[in-house]
Structure formats: structure tokens, C-alpha cells
């Protein structure tokens, strides 16, 4: 019988594991891959996370993270461009590097890792029983769901969003190119938008969201990029100077931005598993880290104060909603302004003209320092 089993070893799972293990709890983390590995992600984190990261002994600059303090947004034609400072600022770092670093910290903290296997079933009666893909069965007092944007466990739990097909596809590359290292850019194209920012070792992240139909229309990702993404002159300029570092891109299908529940069948959801902000608004990594801080803090109190599970679940749902609900709602509404050529052009033109509105939008899609 373990204290906590964590399903999923991304940012939320790893941060939960580190904090809980350092508090003296027995923690097992199940991750289907072996570290280090790449993930579809914008790889930008706002500086709101830095005080918490520093308290854990995590210093992104020592990992080579880029310092980002400017934002650029362009319309599909490139005729309308918004340039503005990022008041809080942020940094760019790959999941390959950051997750691996957190994994190493978690191992030193005493977390037990089960890698290369999946959790195929989670049952709850008075405690949890977790069955792995190799037939092994584990038991624990609590389970944290940190299995990301979409998982077969979502189907097993019959979560609302999983029964609705999502049209969104995420695609990510790492490239070397000529691009300012203090800038994060969001370039719109027909039926999508693409983020570009510097990460470690002189590399850049190029990650975009588009629709499944947009790819089908052109027959392949490569053709779609040629016919839509690189019609934006800013993206064309990046492409002309770029060396692509992957043989093929990282791709994830059916990304859902629908509201999710923070607790399902007594499983405490953390990070993207509890709710996903639109990539256009960035900062999903910061949200995952913050949600893990909130959840792990409550779990420590649950064991220390001998709370009931009902109290733990109620407090977590309340704090999650209070911290993130408005942010996610603003993200979903903002996304509606982009994607089509005329609408995104109009949105960029308005934000460029009304700078206070642009600053307000950025503020609402970023959190407070924690």
C-alpha cells in the first residue's frame, strides 16, 4: 500500500512527485515512456513559476533556458502585426530537457518510477487498485491523474470531453534558424496558428495548432504547411533559414479544450488532465506546475491532518476553479478570434490599435507569481 500513485510523468506528475516525496510520502509514478523524450508543447513558461521553481532547487537558466520578454502576433497575410513587451516575461526550454531534469530530482527525492508501462485500469473502493499493462497490480491511498491531454484512461472514466470528437491537431518541430532569442511569436495562417520561441542550445521550438480537416484537404502535413503555414511571410522567412532537427514532427491528435473536472471517480487530476488552455494563449506549462503545487500542498495536509477524502476533493476542486477557471474561459474565447484569415486579421489590427486591450488579454492568460 503506497501513499500516492501518480499516473503520468509530465510536468504536473513530476512536480507532484517531488513535493510529496520530499514531504516523506511513499510515491510511485507510472510513465509509459523512458526519459528523456519529446512532447508536443509550445515550450514557453511565464516567470510566474520562478519563485516556486527556485524553492525546489530548479533554476531554468542553468539548463540553458532562453529569457523571453517580447511578444509578436501576425495575421495570415503578415499585413497586420502586433509587437508588445511581456510585462512578466518568461523563458523557453524544451520538455526533453526540463522533464528529464525534474525526473532526476524526483529520483533523488525517493520517488519510485515505473517506466515503459501504462496504467490500464484504476478502481476505487476504500482505496485504489491500479492495474498495469504487464498485469501487475498496485494499491494506494490516493491516485493523481497526470496523464496529459488525452488518454485511454479518459475513456475508461467516461469523461465528458472524450465522447466529443475534437478537430484540433498539434504539430511540433525543433529547428535552428535566425530569430530573436528574447521574442515569442504567434503567427496565424488559414485554419491555424504557430508559435515560435527560443529554447536551450541555440535551438527553437516551432509548434502549431491546426484542424484535422486542414491536413486532409492537402493530403499531408508537409503539403498543408507549404500551402497555408508558409504563406505567412514571417513563417516563410523562418523556413528559409531553418534547419529542421527532427526526421519527422511530433504530432498529437484530437486535442480538446472543453472544460474538464478536477476530480473524477476520486482521482485527483493535475495539469492538462484537469484542464487545458489554448496554445494561442500559451502558458499551459505554468498552469501544470501551479496545479501540482496546489494539489501536492493539499495532499500533504490530508495526511498530516487526517482529512477525509471528501474534504480533500472538495478543497482541491474549489482551489482549482478559483485559480484557473477564468483563465481557461478567456483562452477559449480568445481562440475564436483566430484561425480564419479575415477574423484573425481584424483581431490583430484591433489589438495593435488598442494596446491596453492587448495587455489585458495577456494578463488574463497568465497567472500571478506563486
Domain assignment present for residue 254? The answer is yes
In a structure prediction context, what are the per-residue pLDDT tens digits for the chain, which is 370 residues long? 999 999 999 999 999 999 999 999 999 999 999 999 999 999 999 999 999 999 999 999 999 999 999 999 999 999 999 999 998 999 999 999 999 999 999 999 999 999 999 999 999 999 999 999 999 999 999 999 999 988 889 998 999 888 888 899 999 999 999 999 999 999 999 999 999 999 999 999 999 999 999 999 999 999 999 999 999 999 999 999 999 999 899 999 988 888 899 999 999 999 999 998 877 666 899 999 999 999 999 999 999 999 999 999 999 999 999 999 888 888 888 777 776 777 888 888 888 889 888 888 787 777 789 9
pTM above 0.85, yes or no: yes
Domain assignment present for residue 93? The answer is yes
Phi-psi map region of 207: left, alpha, beta (phi>0 left; psi -120 to 50 alpha): beta
Enumerate residues 6+ apart whose C-beta is below 8 A from 180: 70, 198
Q: How many other β-carbons are positioned within 10 Å of the β-carbon of residue 348?
A: 23
Give the separation between CA 217 and CA 213, rounded to whole angstroms.
6
Pairing of strands 267-269, 137-145: parallel
Give the separation between CA 138 and CA 120, rounded to whole angstroms.
12
Single out the residue of 142, 141, 170, 119 nearest to residue 9, CA to CA. Answer: 119
| DSSP letter assigned to residue 231 | G
Q: How many domains does the chain have?
A: 1
The pLDDT value given to residue 71: 95
pLDDT tens, position by position, 203-257: 999 999 999 999 999 999 999 999 999 999 999 999 999 999 998 999 999 888 8
Domain assignment present for residue 115? The answer is yes
Single out the residue of 48, 28, 11, 217 nearest to residue 117, CA to CA. Answer: 28
Considering all CA atoms of the chain, what is the largest pairwise distance in Å, rounded to the nearest integer? 61
Single out the residue of 245, 254, 159, 261 nearest to residue 215, CA to CA. Answer: 254
User: For residue 262, what are the CA distances in angstroms to 127, 315, 318, 322?
Assistant: 19, 11, 9, 12
Domain assignment present for residue 319? The answer is yes
Give the separation between CA 231 and CA 222, rounded to whole angstroms.
13
- Residue 240 burial (CB < 10 Å; 0-12/13-18/19+)? exposed
Cell numbers that stand for 12 in this block: 504536473
Domain assignment present for residue 286? The answer is yes
Expressed as residue numbers, the domain containing 216 is: 2-365
Residue bearing cell 503520468:
8
Domain assignment present for residue 349? The answer is yes
CATH number at residue 215: 3.50.50.60
Give the separation between CA 130 and CA 118, rounded to whole angstroms.
10
Q: Say what the alpha-carbon torsion angle 256, 289, 17, 110 is, to the nearest 10 degrees.
A: 140
Domain assignment present for residue 370? The answer is no
Question: CB–CB of 205/181 below 8 Å?
Answer: no
The pLDDT value given to residue 168: 92
Q: Please list the residues that pair with 310 across neighbouring strands.
A: none
User: In sequence order, what DSSP letters do the residues of 49-82 get, joined into one string?
Assistant: GHHHHHHTT--GGGGTPEEEEEEEEE-TTSSSEE
Give the separation between CA 319 and CA 286, rounded to whole angstroms.
16
Phi and psi at residue 308, to the nearest 5°: -80, 160
Pairing of strands 243-244, 168-176: antiparallel
Question: CB–CB of 273/12 below 8 Å?
Answer: yes
Domain assignment present for residue 100? The answer is yes
Give the separation between CA 285 and CA 95, rounded to whole angstroms.
9
Give the separation between CA 329 and CA 123, rounded to whole angstroms.
32
Amino acid at each position: 500500500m503506497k501513499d500516492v500513485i501518480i499516473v503520468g510523468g509530465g510536468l504536473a506528475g513530476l512536480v507532484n512527485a517531488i513535493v510529496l516525496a520530499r514531504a516523506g510520502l511513499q510515491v510511485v509514478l507510472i510513465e509509459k515512456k523512458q526519459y528523456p523524450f519529446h512532447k508536443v508543447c509550445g515550450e514557453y513558461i511565464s516567470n510566474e513559476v520562478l519563485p516556486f521553481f527556485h524553492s525546489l532547487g530548479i533554476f531554468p537558466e542553468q539548463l540553458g533556458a532562453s529569457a523571453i520578454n517580447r511578444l509578436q502576433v501576425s495575421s495570415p497575410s503578415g499585413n497586420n502585426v502586433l509587437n508588445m513587451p511581456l510585462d512578466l516575461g518568461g523563458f523557453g526550454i524544451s520538455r526533453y530537457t526540463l522533464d528529464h531534469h525534474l525526473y532526476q530530482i524526483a529520483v533523488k527525492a525517493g520517488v519510485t518510477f515505473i517506466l515503459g508501462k501504462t496504467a490500464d485500469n484504476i478502481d476505487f473502493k476504500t482505496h485504489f487498485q491500479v492495474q498495469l499493462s504487464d498485469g501487475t497490480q498496485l494499491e494506494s491511498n490516493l491516485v493523481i491523474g497526470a496523464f496529459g491531454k488525452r488518454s485511454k484512461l479518459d475513456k475508461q472514466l467516461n469523461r465528458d470531453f472524450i465522447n466529443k470528437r475534437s478537430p484540433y491537431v498539434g504539430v511540433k518541430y525543433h529547428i535552428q534558424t535566425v530569430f530573436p532569442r528574447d521574442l515569442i511569436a504567434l503567427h496565424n495562417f488559414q485554419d491555424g496558428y504557430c508559435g515560435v520561441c527560443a529554447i536551450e542550445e541555440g535551438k527553437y521550438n516551432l509548434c502549431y495548432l491546426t484542424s484535422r480537416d486542414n491536413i486532409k484537404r492537402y493530403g499531408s502535413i508537409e503539403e498543408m504547411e507549404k500551402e497555408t503555414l508558409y504563406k505567412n511571410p514571417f513563417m516563410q522567412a523562418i523556413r528559409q533559414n531553418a534547419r529542421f532537427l527532427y526526421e519527422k514532427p511530433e504530432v498529437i491528435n484530437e486535442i480538446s479544450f472543453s472544460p474538464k473536472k478536477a476530480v473524477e471517480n476520486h482521482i485527483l487530476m493535475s495539469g492538462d488532465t484537469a484542464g487545458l488552455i489554448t496554445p494561442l494563449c500559451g502558458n499551459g506549462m505554468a498552469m501544470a506546475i501551479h496545479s501540482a503545487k496546489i494539489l501536492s500542498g493539499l495532499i500533504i495536509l490530508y495526511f498530516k491532518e487526517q482529512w477525509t477524502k471528501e474534504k480533500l476533493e472538495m478543497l482541491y476542486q474549489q482551489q482549482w476553479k478559483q485559480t484557473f477557471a477564468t483563465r481557461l474561459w478567456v483562452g477559449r474565447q480568445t481562440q475564436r478570434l483566430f484561425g480564419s484569415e479575415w477574423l484573425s486579421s481584424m483581431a490583430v489590427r484591433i489589438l495593435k490599435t488598442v494596446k491596453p486591450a492587448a495587455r489585458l488579454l495577456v494578463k488574463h492568460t497568465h497567472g500571478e507569481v506563486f
